[in-house]
Amino acid sequence: MKKIIVLGGTGFVGTHLCEKLVSDGWEVTVPTRRRANADRLKHLPNLTVLELNVNDEVALTRAVAGQNALVNLVAILHGTQTSFERTHVALPRKIAKACLTHGVQQVVHVSALGADALQPEKLPSMYLRTKSEGEAVLLQAASGAGASGQAGFDLSILRPSVIFGANDKFINVFANLQKIFPVMPLAGASARFQPVWVEDVATAVVRCLAGASPAASPRIIEAVGPEVFTLKQLVQLSAKLAGIGGGFGRPVFGLPDWVARIQAKLMSLAPGEPVMSDDNLDSMKVDNVSSGQLPGLASLGISVSALQPIAQDYLNRK
Ligand SMILES: NC(=O)c1ccc[n+]([C@@H]2O[C@H](COP(=O)([O-])OP(=O)(O)OC[C@H]3O[C@@H](n4cnc5c(N)ncnc54)[C@H](OP(=O)(O)O)[C@@H]3O)[C@@H](O)[C@H]2O)c1
């Protein structure tokens, strides 16, 4: 049985992915900082949960020993320059080193649409710049360019647009906000996205591991769905699909950038995860849609699913 370690396996994409990996015959290890975070994985056969912090290089390297493959899903959406660097750049560096040390043959790294490993400095947000730097670290290690002439590893990088699914923190959040508020003042209303279904992203990871086309490593794949929406359209759609306001949704109006910045600053002062941070606003300065320059999920034989019927189903169930 081939062994795989899934960093970030307790999260939104990770839970879907682990189910697929187990049914594909992988022996799966999932590290987590808190064992309770892995409750939704407990029922899966051939899956071991390890309580450790993947940022601890010694613990990570020990966990990677004996694995045939590694998937990295660890990321943060909000934080400081230091925390973005630790999670999106330093962790990939530790992953690369551990994989080279222990001869892990395959790595799948889930990055983000808009990342550009060749020109990180040109990107508008800490999130996108550090995601790009993390890709660059892994691309270099995969090519076996280390000083000791190590062999490298097969690398797939997936760049998803916003991901939707029953437990997403996007469509669900906007629907829930509109259950509470009669109107929706919205930052970044005209930013464009190409939402992709979580099952399609998880399938893409499995297909990359199975060595699906495009054959050459490293492969960088844009994981996008079939349709482009502005953020305003997505917010309106989430309310309509959830049957809010008698199925008509709430009035949604875009905020000018300076008001959105004040709103983001105030949100960052409140406890818990902000819905929108200053850095998110920076990310939305560039559209989050396929560049058309790289292969998409069709190159892995995936026929991507549309948002509306799937979101309608899970929003109504809630
Ligand atoms: N969701 C989206 O819409 C979206 C869009 C584009 C790209 N992506 C990318 O897809 C990947 C998976 O996203 P997701 O939505 O599944 O993420 P998620 O639900 O937030 O899960 C990420 C997992 O990473 C671990 N983690 C988070 N911060 C960490 C830290 N500072 N140190 C160590 N571990 C940490 C957590 O595990 P424990 O708490 O159990 O340790 C968590 O379960 C990420 O690379 C993300 O950037 C997601």
Distances (CA, A) of 38 to 29, 30, 70: 11, 8, 18
Domains of the chain, each with CATH number or no CATH: 3-162+195-223 (3.40.50.720), 165-194+227-289+304-317 (3.90.25)
- Upstream peptide bond of 214 is cis (omega within 30 degrees of 0): yes
φ, ψ at 170 (rounded to 5°): -130, -75
Confirm or reject: Cβ of 31 under 6 Å from ligand 1: no
> Are the C-beta atoms of 234 and 193 separated by less than 8 Å?
yes
Confirm or reject: Cβ of 74 under 6 Å from ligand 1: yes
Confirm or reject: Cβ of 114 under 6 Å from ligand 1: no
Atom of ligand 1 nearest to the CA of 111: 45
Pocket test for ligand 1, best of 15, 17, 33, 220 (most atoms within 8 A of CB): 33
Stretch 82-99: mean pLDDT: 98
Q: Is the pTM of this model over 0.85?
A: yes
Q: Which pLDDT value is given to residue 145? A: 57
Q: Which pLDDT value is given to residue 213? A: 47
Q: Which amino acid is at 181?
A: F
Q: Which pLDDT value is given to residue 317? A: 85
Q: d(Cα 278, Cα 282) in Å, to the nearest integer?
A: 6
Residue 4: pLDDT above 50?
Answer: yes
Q: Which pLDDT value is given to residue 212? A: 55
Nearest CA residue ID for atom 2, ligand 1: 163
φ, ψ at 311 (rounded to 5°): -65, -40
Of 210, 203, 208, 227, nearest to 219 by C-alpha is 208
Residue 146: pLDDT above 70?
Answer: no
Q: pLDDT of 154-183, one tens digit each? A: 999 999 999 999 999 999 999 999 999 999
Give the E-state strand segments of 114-218 in sequence order: 154-160, 163-164, 184-186, 192-193, 196-197
Residue 269: pLDDT above 80?
Answer: no
Nearest CA residue ID for atom 17, ligand 1: 11
Q: Which pLDDT value is given to residue 214? A: 47
What does the DSSP assignment read for 296-317? -GGGGT--PPPHHHHHHHHHHH
Nearest CA residue ID for atom 5, ligand 1: 162
Parallel, antiparallel, or unpaired: how do β-strands 47-51 and 27-32 relate?
Answer: parallel
Residue 7 alpha carbon to ligand 1 centre in Å: 9
Residue 260: pLDDT above 70?
Answer: yes
Stretch 196-204: mean pLDDT: 98
Confirm or reject: Cβ of 37 under 6 Å from ligand 1: yes
Residue 235: pLDDT above 90?
Answer: yes
Pocket test for ligand 1, best of 163, 170, 208, 284 (most atoms within 8 A of CB): 163
Identify the three-state secondary structure at position 186: strand
> Are the C-beta atoms of 164 and 196 separated by less than 8 Å?
yes
Residue 200 alpha carbon to ligand 1 centre in Å: 17
Confirm or reject: Cβ of 13 under 6 Å from ligand 1: yes
Q: Which pLDDT value is given to residue 148? A: 58
What is the percent of the chain where pLDDT is above 90? Answer: 84
Atom of ligand 1 nearest to the CA of 74: 24
